[in-house]
Amino acid sequence: MKEHLKPEFVNVPEALIEALVTSLKKTLVPELKTDAYSLNVLRSLKIDERVVVDLVLPSFGLRSEKNIALAVKKALVSHIANADLIDLNIYSDVKPSATQSIKTKDIADVRNIILVASGKGGVGKSTVASNLSVAMASLGLRVGLLDADVYGPSIPVMFGLLGDAEVKGFTKEDSKITYMIPPIKYDVSLMSIGFLIDSDAPMIWRGPMIASASMQMFHNVFWGQLDYLIVDLPPGTGDIQLTIAQKINVSGAIIVSTPQDVALKDVVRAKKMFDKVNIPNIGLIENMSYFICDSCDKRHEIFSSQGAKRQAEILDLPILGELPLISSIRQGSDNGIPFLASPEDHPIKKHFIDIAHDVVAKVTSMAINDETRDNVSLNQIKNPKNSEIPEKKRRLPLI
Ligand SMILES: Nc1ncnc2c1ncn2[C@@H]1O[C@H](COP(=O)(O)OP(=O)(O)OP(=O)(O)O)[C@@H](O)[C@H]1O
Ligand SMILES: [Mg+2]
């Protein structure tokens, strides 16, 4: 059990402290199998002319986020008559998971790297990676998306930046190394080889050049402080995937599959590759799981149903979600506006948000779970300093 951090209290009556502690202890955070008090979310409470409360969550995007804020608000309003005087600041301090925490110098400010992989081509990795990135950014997280498909980059098209992205350089004074600055769209920092080369030119690079190009996207890009870097991998289990898996410390991998049998054999291959290089499997997403017809609104299971689910159970892979085949997703990718970034009000958007919540919960659990950390020698764990609490600050309206 971790030591409990004592919050900083200034001019706070004992009764209010007690009310806060009781309220936080009663607020369960089921996705992390704990309660809000054990998470040390309350960092300071200062009562002066105004009442300033600072909460630090282990991540934005937890399903319990609202409940935690509500628990604090309820305790506060029971003791402070004028709610207008209360400033509730909510920060998040995303920690790297244990496997991620053995950092590579250049990308030390990226807290968690998540690989999106598949054994087979065309199952929707890039679509999932794009929409998941936008979904996670919409939850308040700082997100980047690295297109590691050096042969067939999709991200420039999916984000409407084909031939349009301006990649500026930035030279670090201390090292004199020049980094590429990733363009930002829909709140996601993006990098793809498609931003740098003529998209119509055939790729004639050989294995080692390809592997080195994909590594440069990690090391020669100024990613800055990110909570999550999502990596859209090429299909299969080839050179690029292996190089990344072996050379970059990552928090985990998401495998995308369609329900067809042929795709499922590839799920086994992809999972085995990650097992071999000790990359935790965050879970499986079954894409194109079923088809919802625009005119009849009925669910059609054209690729057979639940196949990926069955396979996932056999392989002990958690299922992160099932995504239907819908024309809005394809149109979004083709038109350069990821489905999640489009203004359309569509019920399937919630599926992506749910997956984003689950990914956050799983990675946060890994990060705060002492048992996982025990596998890594302590001096290899990078302890983010207090000053590293992200700048992103949100104020929730009081009830
Ligand atoms: N759920 C979905 N509904 C409708 N269309 C989809 C869906 N998922 C993917 N697509 C479409 O399927 C095609 C292939 O998707 P995508 O490019 O994301 O696959 P991929 O696995 O990244 O392919 P590759 O292996 O070539 O990198 C795209 O045209 C995309 O718009
Ligand atoms: Mg792709």
Write out pLDDT tens, residues 242-257.
Answer: 888 888 888 999 999 9
Q: Which atom of ligand 1 is nearest to the CA of 287?
A: 1
Helix (H, G, I), strand (E, B) or coil at 273: helix
Q: Which atom of ligand 1 is nearest to the CA of 120?
A: 25
Residue whose CA is closest, atom 8 of ligand 1?
Answer: 124
**Structural domains in the chain, sorted by start:** 8-93 (3.30.429), 105-380 (3.40.50.300)
What is residue 166's predicted lDDT score, i.e. its pLDDT? 83
Residues 6+ apart with CB under 8 A from 397: none
What is residue 269's predicted lDDT score, i.e. its pLDDT? 87
Q: In terms of C-beta density within 10 A (0-12 exposed, 13-18 middle, 19 or more buried), how is residue 309 classed? A: middle
In the chain, which stretches have pLDDT less than 50? 1, 370-393, 395-399
Which residues line the pocket of ligand 1, CB cutoff 6 A? 118, 121-127, 149, 152, 154, 235, 287-288, 323, 325-326, 329-330, 333
d(CA 32, CA 24): 14
What is residue 174's predicted lDDT score, i.e. its pLDDT? 80
Beta bridge partners, 257, equal 286
Q: In terms of C-beta density within 10 A (0-12 exposed, 13-18 middle, 19 or more buried), how is residue 207 classed? A: exposed
d(CA 312, CA 147): 26
Identity of the amino acid at 399: I
What is residue 207's predicted lDDT score, i.e. its pLDDT? 64
What is residue 204's predicted lDDT score, i.e. its pLDDT? 63
Asked if residues 329 and 339 have their Cβ atoms less than 8 Å apart, the reply is yes
Q: For residue 329, how far is its CA from the centre of ligand 1 (angstroms)?
A: 9
Q: In terms of C-beta density within 10 A (0-12 exposed, 13-18 middle, 19 or more buried), how is residue 325 classed? A: middle
